[in-house]
Structure 1
Amino acid sequence: MPLDYALLKALPPIAARHDWTARDTMIYALGIGATDLPFVYEAGLSALPTMCGVLAYPGFIWKNPDYGVTWQKVLHVEQTIEIHGAIPAEGRFSADTVIESIVDKGADKGAIITTSRRISDGAGHHFATARGAIIARGDGGFGGGDPAAPSPEPMPESAPDFSVSLPTSASQAMLYRLSGDYNPVHIDPEVARIGGFDRPILHGMCTYGVAGRALIAALCGNDPARLASMTCRFSAPVYPGETIRIEIWQDGAGEARFRARVEERGLFVLNHGRVQYR
């Protein structure tokens, strides 16, 4: 069944409601490799800002056969978070995920599907917006679709102002998936091979969280409340166990740009990153 553009664009919002505990917040932090006590210890626990990427997340919806998406070939390619208020370390959270656009890149290139969700707490306070894009690599060429987004600005050619290297563990994807992203490409070798990888890959949102740790450490004095927004493109996958090097350029007051590469292969895995901080 081909990707059904009309059906996907007409979908009603996909509701998700999560009762999130302090234990969940600590599991998320460990899933992105954090070991600082404020993020992993219930005494004075603080939520890392990138955690809003998993709060009220509806799960891996692309396995729904009605959507006509070849789910084994789905990859996360872009992510933005906007923080409007303090992220609670526990509570009841809700969000409605909507499909914003579907871009047909062609039969040999796939389709880009962008979704967004407004995340609120149990009292209805909207504290974050998360917007992400996936590439359905097996589902281009359906014809029509929405206009493509403009290309991002090139990255600086100067040496970065900060560089931070952070390791991942061989079991990182197994731990990170406990925060709600159960795409089998991150744990099942057979699904990974179908997707074109020789072994399971790390979640793009885990790499994103690792970069977020580097950004708040370098720019925000390790205070998660100071991060206002973070956006980037995923340019290549990370394999669990690799070391991620985050390069950061200050770009005016309260703004910076960043990218990340894996040291073992010298390959950029995050690119065209922008961050705003308080």
Structure 2
Amino acid sequence: MPIDAVKAVAAEPRSAEIAWDHKDIQLYHLGLGAGRPATDPAELRYTLESGLHVLPSFATVAGAGMGVVGGLSAPGIEVDLAAVLHGGQSITLHRPIPVRGRAVTTSRVAAVYDKGKAAILVLRSEVADDDGPLWTSDAQIFVRGEGGFGGDRGPSTRLPAPEGDPDREVERPIREDQALLYRLSGDWNPLHADPEFAALAGFDRPILHGLCTYGMTLKAVVDTLLDGDVARVRGYGTRFAGVVFPGETLRIRMWRTDGSVRAEVTAVERDDASVLADTVVTHT
């Protein structure tokens, strides 16, 4: 069997050194659609190196996403990329991410869950620099056709639906070329660029990276409900409920709660089909 759950979880963690600077930060922000309008002071903090802020979701691409790449090549894991989808993502921030950094990321397969027709891999990365921990990231990777091995189904991540009308609602357009730009931050899966590969995975055209939608949503929350202050974010998690296609528009609904923001994200052009669900940003 391509996935040996016991072997994968028991494997020794893998460590690697990663580094980034302002160019990596700026490229990531541009891949999320930052910089429109180009001279807006609220956008310049994402695009201009003299006053650059780092959106915490940059953690998912720092070092070209070494944690996920390493996890998919861990002992006991052998999967077809065409069967792989990102099921969910969470980040815990231990302190703000610096504009320039050098750190060590330690990655392991934290769990393998059996969902019947699919398996879910929980790939955990813990990142620290000389000053201590920076962030912990969990990626839930959905692998079609690899379930049914009799393992633990794992915990439910479903949350009760938000109550009442949202406190804020915004729309964010996705450029036709956005996946091509976003993938330059390190996710080279051809599912997001190659029509023939996308067809093998069951899609009529390439899809947007789930982590691009993830980053766009966090930016919308920070810009509209957190006064544009990225340092207020303490944690961020979501479940990827559906795909997004370049050229579509995201509708992001936000509800304030005590110390957090709930968000639900849909694709406007497909009758508000759900794309991100169970989304929570914790903050100060």
Aligned counterpart, 2:175: 169
- Give the match for residue 115 of structure 2: 105
Q: Distance in 2 between matches of 1:64 and 1:250?
A: 39
Q: 1:72 aligns with which of 64, 79, 82?
A: 82
SS in 2 for 1:264: helix
- Decide which structure has greater helix share: 2
The structural deviation recorded for 1:28 is 0.5
- How many matched pairs? 273
The within-5 A match list for 1:267-278 is 267-278=273-284
Moved over 4 A (4+): 63-66
Other-structure match for 2:4 = 4
Counterpart CA distance in 2 for 1:115 and 1:90 is 25
CA distance in structure 2 between the aligned counterparts of 1:14 and 1:175, rounded to whole angstroms = 29
Q: Does 1:22 align with 2:27?
A: no
Shift of 1:91: 1.8
What is the aligned partner in structure 2 of residue 60 from structure 1? 69
Partner SS state of residue 114, structure 2: strand
Deviation at 1:157, TM superposition (A): 4.1
For structure 1, which segment, 240-249 or 151-160, has the greater mean C-alpha deviation from structure 2 after superposition? 151-160
Runs (5+) with no aligned partner, structure 2: 36-42
Contact 1:202 1:238 in 2 (8 A): yes
User: 1:162-182, CA deviations, whole angstroms, 9 ceiling, x for partnerless residues?
Assistant: 111111111111111111111
Q: 1:119 aligns with which of 114, 121, 127?
A: 127
Deviations 1:222-255 (A, max 9, x none): 1111111111100001111111111111112x21
Other structure's SS at 1:144 match: coil
- Judged with a 3 Å threshold, the aligned counterparts in structure 2 of structure 1 residues 114 and 99 are, in CA distance, closer, same or farther, namely same
SS of equivalent to 2:269? coil
Aligned to 2:38: none
Which residue of 47, 51, 57 maps to 2:54?
Answer: 47
Q: Residue 156 of structure 1 is aligned with which of 162, 169, 177?
A: 162
Q: For the aligned residues, what is the CA RMSD?
A: 1.7
Matched, 1:216 2:222: yes
Equivalents in 2 of 1:259, 1:14: separation in Å? 34
> Residue type of the partner of 1:72?
A
- With normalisation by structure 1, the TM-score equals 0.93
TM-fit CA distance, 1:66: 6.2
Deviations along 1:107-145, whole A, 9 cap, x unmatched?
xx2111111111123x1521211111010012122x132
- Choose the corresponding residue for 1:262, options 243, 259, 267: 267
CA–CA distance in 2 between the matches of 1:2 and 1:85?
A: 38
SS at match of 1:51: helix
Deviations 1:210-233 (A, max 9, x none): 000111012210111111111110
TM-superposed CA distance for 1:85, in Å, is 0.7
Percent identical residues: 39
Confirm or deny: 8 A CA contact 2:260 2:282 kept in the other structure. yes
Amino acid at match of 1:20: W
| Separation (CA, whole Å) in 2 of partners of 1:71 and 1:16 | 23
Whether contact under 8 Å (2:19, 2:62) holds in the other structure is no
| Aligned residue type for 1:38 | R
